[in-house]
């Protein structure tokens, strides 16, 4: 059993109560006092962890039972809290309301579930606008709804003044729960928002650094840090061992990876090499994914592609790959020797003009695809690989056009790989998440002879089958966000194929 750090879960009755303000402020305030802080976010959110990283100086990490499995929550938490060095305290920001999770699946993927798995006390952030003594009934209801969740105290937000604070404190005395902080109505430090939530920290680095510093000062002045630290220290140890990316990658069997036959042999891509054979078992001292040269896998980043999980890098490295960075807004070429490319989520729609103007990199990506380099793209990456986005030219390796809409597509998906690809063998079952306001319309030849096959199949809310994404040659492009910690065979398969293609060239 590994030693777990002191920890708190910051939750709320509903979205918009101030969880991000309090959680990020707590992380920054504890870090300012010399503590090594591990920051976490419940659910598939990519944006809040960017602010957590600024507050703590280490990667923000997600805890998502739906995407990674309940049994991996504690191991992933312990891995994050121990990397790059052991944390003195961990702060977990919840998602939505305390008991809200995957729709129709009980507590699954909720903040409450994570708190129970981590044996962590919960601090409830309550937006007190328009409330008096009724705040006690609200808090008491949350405290008693699930006795497996330990509510350790309350932080009041949006309090109207000294008299309002006095009324709220008097009321909460009847619950027996301590008030651990009081934030005034105009005290919250705001971050700009747009169509998918807060603007990511990477897009406003200087302003975000100042905002996080202001949050640290706000929380330190408004909350009882000593009492919160003591509450965090009351969390018991965890009966789990840290998640180990090397062990996860090594444990993937050839059957789990599937046949690493070159998909381009069945859906021809100009210049692609022929079959590369099956993936063999991992030998002693050998990188996961079989023998061969160490492949270089480029990952898109920067302001336009800021959505990603740190565990993806760790799993690719564990699978024997060297991970390199490329910023499609700034770089005019792929990293030298790129053997595969991963283009994750983000906001290409915001930077469509700049992405279009970088013709050198767009042409480099198209040339790499034509030469047989495997490419995995999700959501923003799908838009970037399309022929155009909002009328501006993109890479043109997927026969489709993309455009912004007013409609939000959001939710977890239970999907099955529809087509053998560089990422997954047909029939592979995964859990994913959609989150976008764009649509992609296939071109006239996309589904014709020799055209793309769908990436995934799932059933929509109505129960009707839904085919989504594109698989063509070495390209796998889809709207679906995945967390590879929940499906380590995916990065192992990608790294194995990249290695064999590198050896064949």
pLDDT digits (tens, 9 = 90+) for 55-65: 999 999 999 99
Helix axes 205-222, 48-56, angle to 10 degrees: 70
Question: Which H or E element spans position 384?
Answer: helix 380-385
pLDDT the model gives residue 401 = 95
CA gap 407, 422 in Å, rounded? 31
Stretch 231-238: mean pLDDT = 97
Report CA 98 to chain centroid distance, whole Å. Answer: 19
Question: Tokens standing for 232?
Answer: 């965090």
Please determine, for residue 133, whether its predicted confidence score (pLDDT) is greater than 90.
yes
Length of the chain equals 505
CB contact burial 149-167 (16+ within 10 A = b; e otherwise): bbbbbbbbbbbbeeebbeb
pLDDT the model gives residue 198 = 59
> Is the link from the previous residue into 201 a cis peptide, with omega within 30 of 0?
no
Stretch 213-222: mean pLDDT = 94
The least confident of 24-28, 84-88, 416-420, 464-468 is 464-468
The residue behind tokens 């910023």 is 327
| Pick from 414, 355, 360: nearest CA to 390 | 355
Question: Which H or E element spans position 183?
Answer: strand 179-184
pLDDT the model gives residue 461 = 72
Answer yes or no: are the C-beta atoms of 300 and 381 closer than 8 Å: yes
The least confident of 43-52, 104-113, 280-289, 408-417 is 280-289
**Is beta strand 122-127 parallel, antiparallel or unpaired with respect to 7-11?**
parallel
Helices (H) and strands (E) in the chain, counts: 16, 21
pLDDT the model gives residue 278 = 38
| Pick from 117, 87, 65: nearest CA to 4 | 87
Answer yes or no: are the C-beta atoms of 91 and 39 closer than 8 Å: yes
Stretch 72-76: mean pLDDT = 98
Output the pTM of the full model. 0.90
Phi/psi-derived region of residue 352, left when phi > 0, alpha when psi is between -120 and 50, beta in every other case:
alpha
pLDDT the model gives residue 203 = 65
The mean pLDDT value of the chain amounts to 88
pLDDT the model gives residue 104 = 82
What percentage of the chain has pLDDT greater than the value 70? Answer: 86
| Pick from 490, 171, 181, 144: nearest CA to 312 | 490
Question: Which H or E element spans position 9?
Answer: strand 7-11
Stretch 94-117: mean pLDDT = 94
| Pick from 485, 406, 52: nearest CA to 244 | 485
To the query of whether residue 379 is one of the catalytic residues in this protein, the response is yes
pLDDT the model gives residue 443 = 83
pLDDT digits (tens, 9 = 90+) for 250-290: 998 665 565 544 544 443 333 333 333 333 333 333 444 44
CA gap 454, 432 in Å, rounded? 15
Q: Tell me the β-bridge partners of 429.
A: 416
pLDDT the model gives residue 257 = 61
CA gap 88, 82 in Å, rounded? 10
Q: What is the dihedral of CA 296, 302, 308, 312, to 10 degrees?
A: 20
Stretch 234-258: mean pLDDT = 86
What percentage of the chain has pLDDT greater than the value 90? Answer: 76
pLDDT the model gives residue 445 = 58
Please determine, for residue 112, whether its predicted confidence score (pLDDT) is greater than 90.
yes
CB contact burial 24-50 (16+ within 10 A = b; e otherwise): bbbbbbbbbeebbbbbbbbbbbbbbbb
Please determine, for residue 479, whether its predicted confidence score (pLDDT) is greater than 90.
yes
pLDDT the model gives residue 463 = 80
pLDDT the model gives residue 258 = 56
pLDDT the model gives residue 266 = 44
pLDDT digits (tens, 9 = 90+) for 352-407: 999 999 999 999 999 999 999 999 999 999 999 999 999 999 999 999 999 999 89
User: DSSP secondary structure string, 220-242?
Assistant: HHHB-HHHHHHHHHTPPP-S---
Q: Tell me the β-bridge partners of 323.
A: 297
| Pick from 488, 497, 495: nearest CA to 253 | 488
Domains recognised in the chain with CATH numbers: 7-233 (3.40.50.300), 245-250+294-441+453-504 (3.40.50.880)
Answer yes or no: are the C-beta atoms of 481 and 438 closer than 8 Å: no
pLDDT the model gives residue 252 = 87
Q: Residue 183 — very low, low, confident or very high, per pLDDT cuts 50/70/90?
A: very high
CA gap 290, 313 in Å, rounded? 19
CA gap 184, 21 in Å, rounded? 12
pLDDT the model gives residue 2 = 67
């Amino acid at each position: 059993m590994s030693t777990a750090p002191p920890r708190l879960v910051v939750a709320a009755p509903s979205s918009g109560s101030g969880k991000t303000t309090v959680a990020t402020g707590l992380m920054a305030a504890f870090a300012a006092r010399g503590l090594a802080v591990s920051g976490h976010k419940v659910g598939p959110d990519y944006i809040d962890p960017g602010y957590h990283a600024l507050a703590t100086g280490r990667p923000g990490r997600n805890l998502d039972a739906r995407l990674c499995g309940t049994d991996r929550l504690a191991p992933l938490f312990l891995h994050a809290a121990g990397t790059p060095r052991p944390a003195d305290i961990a702060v977990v920001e919840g998602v939505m309301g305390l008991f809200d999770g995957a729709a129709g699946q009980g507590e699954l993927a909720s903040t409450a579930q994570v708190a129970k798995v981590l044996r962590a006390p919960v601090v409830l952030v309550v937006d007190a606008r328009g409330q008096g003594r009724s705040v006690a009934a609200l808090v008491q209801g949350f405290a008693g709804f699930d006795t497996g969740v330990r509510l350790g105290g309350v932080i009041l937000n949006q309090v109207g003044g000294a008299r309002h604070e006095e009324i709220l404190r008097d009321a909460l005395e009847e619950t027996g729960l301590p008030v651990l902080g009081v934030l005034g109505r105009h005290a919250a430090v705001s971050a700009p928002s747009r169509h998918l939530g807060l603007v990511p920290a990477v897009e406003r680095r200087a302003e975000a650094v100042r905002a996080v510093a202001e949050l640290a000062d706000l929380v330190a002045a408004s909350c009882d840090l000593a009492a919160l630290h003591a509450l965090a220290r009351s969390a018991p140890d965890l009966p789990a061992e840290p998640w180990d990316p090397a062990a996860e990658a090594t444990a993937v069997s050839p059957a789990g990876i599937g046949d690493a036959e070159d998909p381009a042999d069945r859906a021809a891509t100009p210049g692609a090499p022929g079959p590369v054979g099956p993936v063999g078992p991992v030998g002693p001292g050998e990188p996961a994914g079989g023998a061969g040269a160490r492949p270089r896998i480029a990952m898109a980043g920067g302001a336009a592609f800021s959505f990603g999980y740190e565990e993806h890098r760790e799993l690719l490295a564990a699978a024997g790959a060297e991970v390199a960075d490329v910023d499609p807004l700034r770089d005019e070429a792929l990293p030298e020797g790129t053997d595969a490319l991963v283009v994750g989520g983000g906001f290409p729609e915001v930077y469509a003009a700049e992405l279009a103007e970088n013709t050198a990199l767009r042409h480099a990506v198209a040339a790499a695809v034509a030469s047989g380099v495997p490419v995995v793209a999700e959501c923003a990456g799908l838009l970037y690989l399309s022929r155009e986005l909002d009328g501006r030219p993109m890479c043109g390796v997927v026969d489709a056009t993309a455009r912004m809409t007013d409609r939000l597509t959001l939710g977890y998906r239970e999907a099955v790989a529809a087509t053998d690809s560089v990422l997954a063998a047909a029939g592979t079952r995964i859990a994913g998440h959609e989150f976008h306001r764009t649509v992609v319309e296939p071109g006239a030849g996309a589904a014709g002879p020799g055209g793309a096959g769908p990436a995934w199949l799932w059933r929509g809310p109505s129960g009707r089958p839904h085919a989504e994404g594109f698989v063509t040659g070495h390209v796998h492009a889809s709207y679906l966000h995945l967390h590879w910690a929940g499906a380590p065979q995916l990065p192992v398969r990608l790294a194995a194929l990249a290695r064999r293609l590198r050896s064949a060239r």
